Amino acid sequence: MDRIQSSELTWRKSRYSGTDDNCVEVAALSAGGRAVRDSKNTSGPMLFISYGEWRTFTGSIKDATFE
């Protein structure tokens, strides 16, 4: 994967997150995957997740099978 700078991504957090910065932010990647970061440390490390892994993760949450 090419080196990606955090400033190159459009970050978002859940509309259910409230006003504090105690959550995670997600950005879409051009290949369909996602980048994830801690909203308290926006210049810190990012986790890169492939499209398939992201679909499995979000599907598990929607199906209430994620534990």
The pLDDT tens digits of the residues spanning 14-55 come to: 887 777 767 889 999 988 899 999 988 888 899 999 999 999
Predicted local distance difference test score (pLDDT) of residue 36: 94
> Please, are residues 54 and 34 in contact by the beta-carbon 8 Å criterion?
yes
More confident residue, 26 or 8: 26
**CA–CA separation, 12 vs 3, rounded Å?**
20
Q: How much is the pLDDT for 9?
A: 93
What pLDDT sits at residue 49?
Answer: 94
CA distance 27 to 25: 7
Longest dimension (CA), the chain: 34
